[in-house]
Amino acid sequence: MNSALVLADAGNTGLILCGAIDTTAAIAYGWKNRGGGHGKWWGSPVGLHLMLFMIAFAVVLDEASFAIVMRQAGARPPGWYPWLTTVSFVALIPPVLAWRLILILRPPR
């Protein structure tokens, strides 16, 4: 048994699981918090940030999961796919992380 392959498979499984969990969490948050006793998720800066944070990470994790599954199936992602994943990461993750930092340093009143 090659320990490097076991670790890689464990990491790939974890990444796919995280993508599934985050996607499910974003859908559930959007569905459960569309009004009612707790208000709408888009009604506060923190609620909006939480939704966009989950969506950004879900997109990046799901794109990586898709590439892993394709490679495991013996197929290769299209040539433009690395560009898509890079642009998604750069366009989505730094802004939501910066927004989180701003919320931490200057909490809304």
pLDDT > 80? residue 38: no
Compute the 3-state secondary structure of the chain and give helix, strand, coil in percent, each to the nearest 5: 80, 0, 20
* Both tokens assigned to 72: 């495991």
DSSP letter at 35 equals: S
* Predicted local distance difference test score (pLDDT) of residue 86: 96
Residue 86's identity, in one-letter code, is T
| pLDDT single digits (tens) 16-32 | 999 999 999 999 999 98
DSSP string, 48-85: HHHHHHHHHHHHHHHHHHHHHHHHHTT----TTHHHHH
pTM for this predicted structure: 0.87
Summarize pLDDT for 49-107 with one digit per residue, the tens: 999 999 999 999 999 999 999 999 999 999 999 999 999 999 999 999 999 999 999 98
Neighbour-count burial for 63-99, b at 16+ CB within 10 Å, e otherwise: bbbebbeeeeeeeebeeeeeeebeebeeebeeebeeb
61 touches 18 (CB < 8 A):
yes
Can you tell me the distance from the alpha carbon of 93 to that of 66, in angstroms, rounded to the nearest whole number?
Answer: 18
Domain count within the chain: 1
Q: Return the amino acid letter for 87.
A: V
**39 has a pLDDT exceeding 80:** no
Which residues constitute the domain of residue 65? Answer: 3-105
- Helices 45-72 and 81-105 cross at an angle (nearest 10°) of 150
